[in-house]
Every structure is written in C-alpha cells, then in structure tokens.
Structure 1
Amino acid sequence: MYHYTESGLENIYLKNGFVVTKEDGEEFVNFTNFDGIQQAIAIAICTQKKWMSSAQLRFLRKEFNLSQTGLGQLIYCDRQSIARWEKGEIEIPHLADVMLRALYLESIDKESHVSLTIKSLADAEIADMHSKICLEEHKGEWKVITA
C-alpha cells in the first residue's frame, strides 16, 4: 500500500496504480492514472456518510480548479469564509457541504450544464462577470452569441 499524501489528505492509501522507481538512491512514484485517482478521492469525499473536513473541502475546491474567491462566487459566499472553513477555524455549514458535493458529482458528467458552468467560472475573471451578453433569435429560439 502506498500512503498517498500528495492529495493533501492524510487518510488516502493506494493499493495499486502506481510504480515506485529508484534513481541515484532516491525513490520516485509515478501514477498510471493521476486524474483518475483524484476523481476517485473526490467521489469518496462526496459519498461519505459524514460531514466534510476542512482538508476535504480544500481538495474539492482544487478539483473544481477554483480559487477561494471563485468557489465563494459559485456558492454565494465570501472568500474569507471559504478560507476560514479550509483552515478549520469555523465549521463548514451543512448546506455548503451538501451543495459542494452535489456540484462536484454533477460536474464530472461532461455533458452537464453544471459541468460547463463550473469550467467557465474556473477561468473567469471578476471583470468578466460584467461583460456584455449578446443574444440572437432564430426561428423562435434565443441563443447566446459572441459579439
């Protein structure tokens, strides 16, 4: 078993899916499917039958590829609250815990509108939040277009 501390979590162990090599007296670990490991950990966090820890929240935020500010915008919360949750200074509100789990599980469905929204928010700048939205009507249906 390999103690997978690279995740930032203390309780993750890998039975397989890694190769340990030695070079010049140093050990190096290579993973056969790094993204798959990360996703499996996130799913385990989302499906566990206990409230999320601060480290698990940080892990999920990073899996979303969001800053604390970005995650705060996603769940309508300020950056300071996210930082305090991640530091364990205050308890993660149960509603935020449930929402983050649901958002993550929905986000791994590549065809999901939630997934597309989260990906676009991860790359968005605050200034982009006030940019123009252009719409075009065609045969009774409205669509967003590039200006």
Structure 2
Amino acid sequence: MSAEKATPYRYTESGLETVFIHGIKLTIDEDGDEVVTIPNVNGLHKAIALAIIGRPGLMTGKELRFLRTEMGMTQAELATCIHKEPQSVGRWERGEGGGIDPNAETLIRLLAREKLGLELHASVAQLTGYSVATAKLPPIEIDGSNPDDYRPMAA
C-alpha cells in the first residue's frame, strides 16, 4: 500500500541534518510501519550537491565532506586542488578553526560543479558572492515528486 507523504522526509542518510525531501512516496509494511524507499540515490545526491553550491552562505563542514565524497576525492586530493594543507580540509570538515576559507570555498563550488556535471548557471563572481557568512543557512529542500529528476526547491 502506498501513500503520498504529507510532511517532508528528513534525509539524514546523507550525513547532513538539514536535507528534506518533499513529495516522496512511502510504503506501509506488514507491521503497519512507514517505510521510505528512495530510488535514484545518485540523482538525489546530485540535487543536494547543486543545492549546496547554489546557495548563498558559507557551507558547513558536513556539507564540504558531502561534496568531497560525492566528487570521489580524498582530503589530500581536494587540498591539492585548492592549494591548502590536507589538515585544513580535515579541520573544516570537523567544524574546527573558524570555518572554511571563503576563497577556497569558491574553488570547491567550482570544482564540484565541474566534477559532478551540475548545471548551475552562476558566474564565478556570483559564486564568490555566495561564499560569505550568513546569519543562518536555510535547510536544503529537495523536490522528490519525480525520482528521475530530483531538484532543489527555491528557498
């Protein structure tokens, strides 16, 4: 038996606490419990990555780790690309040391866009403007009504 889930599903399986998927289907198992099945996880993760790089505000350490992992890079490989020490990337991912360097973050956004083939129509100047501190980052809201085409929702 399937039903449309009225409230968004909090997708903590991504390693991020603030990802919510709207419009996904749930199944009721034989014990009467709701079971969430997420088809096309790769497509979902690309939509999450697009939401991260296309959103103004410094990314969190967990978001950086998510992007690095999705790009298939080690901390050392990412550090080499952005001209930083691997220890810096590790500290940023753990939320230590005052946050991600804004210039490095802009490079990370550009690298993620390229490596993951994300269609973000933003100039380098716009991405630079995104890499600034904000009071509070909004949650990442994903439209999951079509699992073949997950999309970030407008904030």
TM-score, normalised relative to structure 1: 0.66
How far apart are 1:28 and its partner, in Å? 4.2
Aligned to 2:23, the other structure's residue is in SS state: coil
Aligned to 2:84, the other structure's residue is in SS state: coil
How far apart are 1:73 and its partner, in Å? 2.1
Structure 1: gaps of 5 or more residues? 111-147
Equivalenced residues, count: 110
Ranked by relative contact order (alpha carbons within 8 Å, sequence separation 6 or more), the top structure is 2
| Residue equivalent to 2:10 | 3
Q: 1:36 aligned to 2:43?
A: yes
How far apart are 1:81 and its partner, in Å? 0.8
Match of 1:100 among 108, 122, 125: 108
Change (3 A) 1:68 1:20: farther
Q: Distance in 2 between matches of 1:34 and 1:59?
A: 14
The CA RMSD over aligned residues, in Å, is 2.1
Pair member with larger Rg: 1
Q: Distance in 2 between matches of 1:23 and 1:97?
A: 47
Cα distance per residue 1:2-47 (max 9 Å; x no partner): 1111111111111134544536677543212111110111000001
| Residue equivalent to 1:70 | 77
* Greater helix share, structure number: 1
Q: Distance in 2 between matches of 1:23 and 1:47?
A: 41
Q: Identity of paired residues, percent? A: 38
Q: Distance in 1 between matches of 2:81 and 2:88?
A: 13
Dislocated runs of 4+, deviation >4 Å: 23-28
Structure 2: gaps of 5 or more residues? 1-7, 119-155
| Residue equivalent to 1:122 | none
TM-score, normalised relative to structure 2: 0.63
Q: Which AA in structure 1 matches 2:103? A: L
Q: 1:52 aligned to 2:59?
A: yes
Contact 1:17 1:32 in 2 (8 A): no
